[in-house]
Amino acid sequence: MSMIRWEPFSELMSLRQAMDRLFEDSFVTPSRAFGRLDLAMPVDMYQTENEVVVKTAVPGVNPEEVDITITGDTLCIKGEKKADEKVKRENYIYQEHRYGAFSRTVNLPGGLDTGKAEASFDNGILTLTIPKSEAVKPKQIKVKAIEGKKEAKK
């Protein structure tokens, strides 16, 4: 049986790290303590050769009530999901759907032609298509062979 030497300072360091994390979770970034608030509106963003596509689910919201703005390279989607007024609060057994205002802000890649952006709404899925500007689209350059004199060294 081997003995392991006890190092009290290593445990104190982990206690300090735990306290730092507790402080950070509670005061610096409270969204971590209560769950990721931005995940209430998850966003998928991908790019193709010619455009960037942003998709998000906004069920129960009329397309006219969604506000989309692009300022520089920042996309902001805002709206409000209204509660059903027919059911009184005291009559609920469970109420897990979230109601009220929502917003999500994401950074877009550079080089997009935001003036030509288009939005569509299908079955609660908002799809925003932003074309890439010509300056950032990949260009293929063909290599040409130069016909010339061949010099032979002897």
What does each of the 154 residues of the chain score in pLDDT, given as a tens digit? 677 777 666 655 567 677 777 777 666 555 444 444 444 688 999 999 899 999 999 888 888 889 999 998 899 999 988 877 777 777 878 777 777 888 899 999 988 888 999 999 999 899 999 998 887 667 788 888 888 655 555 5
What secondary structure, in 3-state letters, does 124-136 show? CEEEEEEEECCCC
Residues of the domain holding 61: 41-131
pLDDT of residue 153: 52
pLDDT at 8: 66
Can you tell me whether residue 78 is helix, strand or coil? strand
Kindly state whether residues 76 and 14 are assigned to the same domain: no
Residues in the chain: 154
CB hemisphere CA count around 115 (13 angstroms): 1
Q: Could you give the CA distance from residue 47 to residue 111 in angstroms, rounded to a whole number?
A: 12
Confirm if 44 and 54 have CB atoms less than 8 A apart: yes
CA triplet 136, 142, 143: central angle to 5 degrees? 130
**Residue 113 included in any domain:** yes
Please state, as a whole number, how many other Cβ atoms lie within 10 Å of the Cβ of residue 69: 11
Give residue 29's pLDDT: 52
- Per the listing, tokens 């290599």 go with 143
pLDDT score for 37: 45
The CATH number that applies at residue 106 is: 2.60.40.790
59 and 29 share a domain?
no
The answer to the question of residue 138 being in a domain is no
Report CA Rg, the chain. Answer: 28
149 assigned to some structural domain: no
Name the strand (E) or helix (H) holding 31: helix 30-33
In the chain, the number of structural domains is 2
Question: Could you give the C-alpha distances from 140 to 115, 118, 150, in angstroms and in order?
Answer: 26, 27, 29
Pairs from 8-17 (Cβ < 8 Å, separation ≥ 24): none
- What's residue 101's pLDDT? 86
Same domain, 30 and 50: no
